[in-house]
Amino acid sequence: MQRTGLFLSRFAIALWTVLTIAFLMLLISNAPSVPHNAPFASLSIREENSIVYLPNRIFRCVSENKQFECQTEIQNRLLKINLSRSSQNGFDDYHFSSCSAFYEGKAIGCENRGATYAPVIAQIYEVNNLGLNSSELRSLQQQYWGMNLLSQLGETRLFWISTGLSVAAGLIAASFAWQCPNIVAKTFASLFCGFGSFQVMGGFLGRIPFDEVTPYGFVPETWSLLVKGISIVSGIVIAIATLSLLARRTNHLLTVLLSLGSGLGVFGLCWQALSWNVREILGFISFNFGLETSTIPSTIFQTLIIAVAIVLATAAATLLGLRTHRSIKAFMLLSSGFGAVAIVSNFFLLLLLGLGYAD
């Protein structure tokens, strides 16, 4: 039975790795890069009810004074975009006051559709009236399928995918921690607790207003460095303390103190994992199954999340303090599961924000 469970866990982690790499390659290969590719984030073609998204990397751009001229070939015909800056917004290199477009030398419509982060604030444009037929539009969509797929998914569905991968990572990590409570699994569980403590301490100290620390001689820059330093030290201490408890016995008083510290780390992991992913899961359920889940006020939602995190952290500290074989496995299941969810969620959140897929 245990051999079957390990086989399924290894298969799950292999499948998760393949899906995650494919998702990352799709995101990275289609991410806009301003100014390396073009001075705008993206451009789309609209023909009646059809829209095709083009990545900015296919444009060749030259600049002169306050103007950019970018061009590419669409269906073997030249598409040219002219962008101009006025003297009033000259401080912003990627905010343009006017846009004009030409296809095969004929003027076509060009419209500003807003801005996004890519990885600087840059604008999104849409051109129309190119005269492309449905077959040519389908060909363009197939040629730039990655960009069009991501645009159709949108920010919300990309977060749903990242949430699914994060939860899957947590389930796989919890499964391995339960089935193989060896030194490697114990080390990862300890590092997860250290990360949770780092997040809790950073979040707590980071909320202290600068006005309250300046009377003690701290300037904002010094206080920010101190907060980071204390958070890192806290994370390292809790990671070492958790590993020492998992690896060997200590006296009763020290066991209680170290268990409380590890519980603090688990609280940070649970709070992070739940506060982001539960909201995304509720949004997914509400959208796909028509169940009303968005009526919970934000303050009540956060209070419930904190309450659940406290309960789970208390359970984790108790399990670690008991120090039986089964309680240690249960503690590792909690810390590894929620730790993997928290870290993978943070990774995808930073990635989507950094690449310009989310605001």
Query: What are the tens digits of pLDDT across the range 139-191?
Result: 999 999 999 999 889 889 999 999 999 999 999 999 999 998 899 999 999 99
Residues 140/52, Cβ–Cβ less than 8 Å:
yes
Residues 162/352, Cβ–Cβ less than 8 Å:
yes
pLDDT band at residue 282 using 50, 70 and 90 as cut-offs: confident
Model confidence pLDDT, tens digit, residues 204-219: 988 888 888 888 888 8
Whole-number pLDDT of residue 242: 93
Top-ranked range on mean pLDDT: pick from 14-23, 172-181, 200-209, 269-278 = 14-23
Model confidence pLDDT, tens digit, residues 299-317: 888 899 999 999 999 999 9
Quickly list DSSP for 100-152: EEEETTEEEEEEEEEEEESSSEEEEEEEE-----HHHHHHHHHHTHHHHHHHH
Chain Cα centroid distance, residue 66: 35
> Amino acid identity of 247?
A
- Mean per-residue pLDDT over the chain, rounded: 88
Quickly list DSSP for 236-267: HHHHHHHHHHHHS---HHHHHHHHHHHHHHHH
For 132, the token pair is: 């492309």
Share of the chain above pLDDT 70, in %: 94
182 vs 65, more confident:
182
Work out whether strand 121-128 and strand 60-64 pair parallel, antiparallel, or are unpaired. unpaired
Integer Cα distance of 203 and 199 in angstroms: 6
For residue 171, how many other CB atoms are within 10 A of its CB?
A: 16
For 179, the token pair is: 């089935």
Whole-number pLDDT of residue 259: 92
Residues 196/342, Cβ–Cβ less than 8 Å:
yes
For 76, the token pair is: 């073997």
Give which of 30, 55, 35 is closest to 43, Cα–Cα.
55
Whole-number pLDDT of residue 336: 96
Integer Cα distance of 215 and 229 in angstroms: 20
92 vs 32, more confident:
32
Model confidence pLDDT, tens digit, residues 114-148: 887 767 788 889 999 898 888 999 999 999 999 99
Whole-number pLDDT of residue 90: 44
Helices (H), the chain: 2-29, 134-143, 145-179, 183-206, 210-213, 220-247, 252-289, 298-322, 325-355
**Rounded to 5 degrees, what are φ and ψ at 62?**
-130, 150
Least confident of 10-19, 39-48, 85-94: 85-94
> Does the pLDDT at position 290 exceed 70?
no
Residues 229/156, Cβ–Cβ less than 8 Å:
no
**Rounded to 5 degrees, what are φ and ψ at 101?**
-135, 150
Q: Tell me the mean pLDDT in the region 6-28.
A: 92
Whole-number pLDDT of residue 91: 41
> Does the pLDDT at position 1 exceed 70?
no
Q: Tell me the mean pLDDT in the region 21-39.
A: 86
For 307, the token pair is: 């309450």
Share of the chain above pLDDT 90, in %: 53
Whole-number pLDDT of residue 96: 84
